[in-house]
Structure 1
Amino acid sequence: MSIEEIVLEAEDRMEKSVTLLTDQLRGIRTGRANVGLVESVRVEYYGSFTPLKQLANLSTPEPQQILIRPFDPSVVGDIVKAIQTSDLGLTPNSDGKAVRLNIPPLSVENRKKLVGRVKDLAEEARVSIRNIRRDANKQADVEQTDKILTEDDVASCKDEIQGLTKKFEGKVNDLAERKSGEIMEF
């Protein structure tokens, strides 16, 4: 592998780690309603578990409410059941055509727990990024051993990988800070 290939593969994998963190953070409650809370709830629909966002139109008509309008009204009962069995802690209200979720305000204690969860997720993402750095550095060392890359090439490759690591760790830190700020907003 060339330096460019090693760096591109590492960058691609680090980007995927940041994307995963972004998706995970979207599902964490803040003080206001957000369709990201319920997008990934899996609903049993004709024998297979399907993400809610593929079965319904999700919206937030009010700051403290999520409205779920299924494309097929016969699935309302399944949506209600899926939300009740999820770990969201929300009680769905159904009128037979749509489901409404009222988002209660978070207590200070719950907000602090959620901020702790955000920090844990961010640390997992940082560890993932560092593991990718380690793998890329190992790949560069293997290429040097196989006489494909010179010692100087390996050093510059490791410098590029370290730069990527810092860049993506910065993105993780920014995401975590922003989400923690949203959670602690009153």
Structure 2
Amino acid sequence: MAEPDIDDIERRMGKAIDVLKQEFVGLRTGRASVSMLDPVRVEVYGSMMPINQIGTVSVPEPRMISVQVWDKSNVKAVEKAITASGLGLNPQADGTLIRIPIPELNEQRRKELTKVAGQYAEQAKVAVRGVRRDGMDNLKKSEKDGDLGEDDVKMYQEEIQKLTDDATKKIDEMLAQKTKEVLQV
């Protein structure tokens, strides 16, 4: 391994940002959307599955989501996963149909959503820093093995650090945008 794969590092950091975008889609501001349940994973059949693979998710009213669970034995698991998701939703089961009313966003709920958004952003930053650490470790190994000189290592370290700074800046911008969107009355 002579040179680090900068494109791979950039791609992996981009993937962390893409995951953050998906999580932010789930944080809606007052109106129901089927994508609100995208981050929810349900433990069924011995593995974690997205909710849309266990039932049909729909929005019958602007402030209501419904999940028609296909297998009656999974209703409790779906209910539990929605409750534990941190989205502040309270599912109500009726046979195989789960109704999820979307609460009116009061000031307290808006603040809770900004905290959740902050947690998602922090997870993305941790992922980016993990990619950075992997890249730096590979550089040190290459230098130790004699594949790269000291000047090359320094140049690649600066490039990796710049990618990390850019990704972190983008995450901060996305968080600021989402916070503004959530707090807007």
The TM tier, using the shorter chain, reads 0.7 to 0.9
Distance in 1 (CA, whole Å) between partners of 2:2 and 2:106 is: 53
Q: How far does residue 115 in structure 1 lie from its aligned partner after superposition?
A: 0.7
Matched with 1:141 is 140
User: Could you say if the C-alpha distance between residues 130 and 99 of structure 1 is closer, same or farther in structure 2, counting changes exceeding 3 Å?
Assistant: closer
Aligned partner of 2:20: which letter? L
Q: Which digits, 9 at most, give the CA deviation of each residue in 1:159-183, with x for residues without a partner?
A: 2212211221133123312322332
Structure-2-length-normalised TM-score: 0.76
Distance in 2 (CA, whole Å) between partners of 1:59 and 1:103 is: 13
RMSD over aligned Cα atoms: 2.9
Distance in 2 (CA, whole Å) between partners of 1:36 and 1:123 is: 21
Aligned partner of 2:92: which letter? P
Q: How far does residue 54 in structure 1 lie from its aligned partner after superposition?
A: 0.6
Matched with 1:167 is 166
* Unmatched 5+ stretches in structure 2: none
- 3-state DSSP of counterpart to 2:7: helix
Matched with 1:66 is 65
How many corresponding residue pairs?
180
Distance in 2 (CA, whole Å) between partners of 1:121 and 1:97 is: 31
Q: Which digits, 9 at most, give the CA deviation of each residue in 1:108-137, with x for residues without a partner?
A: 012112212222331232233234323312
Does residue 89 of structure 2 align to residue 89 of structure 1?
Answer: yes
- 3-state DSSP of counterpart to 1:115: helix
Alignment of 1:29-178 (within 5 A): 29-39=28-38, 40-42=40-42, 44=44, 50-70=49-69, 72=70, 74-75=71-72, 78-79=74-75, 82-83=78-79, 86-87=83-84, 88-92=88-92, 94=94, 98-178=97-177
User: Could you say if the C-alpha distance between residues 180 and 144 of structure 1 is closer, same or farther in structure 2, counting changes exceeding 3 Å?
Assistant: same
Q: How far does residue 144 in structure 1 lie from its aligned partner after superposition?
A: 2.0
User: Could you say if the C-alpha distance between residues 91 and 140 of structure 1 is closer, same or farther in structure 2, counting changes exceeding 3 Å?
Assistant: closer
Does residue 184 of structure 2 align to residue 185 of structure 1?
Answer: yes
Distance in 2 (CA, whole Å) between partners of 1:120 and 1:81 is: 24
Q: Which digits, 9 at most, give the CA deviation of each residue in 1:7-39, with x for residues without a partner?
A: 234223323322333343344453221323323
**Preserved contact between residue 31 and residue 185 of structure 1 (Cα < 8 Å):** no
**Preserved contact between residue 2 and residue 149 of structure 1 (Cα < 8 Å):** yes
User: Could you say if the C-alpha distance between residues 48 and 123 of structure 1 is closer, same or farther in structure 2, counting changes exceeding 3 Å?
Assistant: closer
Distance in 2 (CA, whole Å) between partners of 1:178 and 1:17 is: 17
Does residue 2 of structure 2 align to residue 2 of structure 1?
Answer: yes
Distance in 2 (CA, whole Å) between partners of 1:83 and 1:175 is: 30
- 3-state DSSP of counterpart to 1:130: helix
User: Could you say if the C-alpha distance between residues 68 and 89 of structure 1 is closer, same or farther in structure 2, counting changes exceeding 3 Å?
Assistant: closer
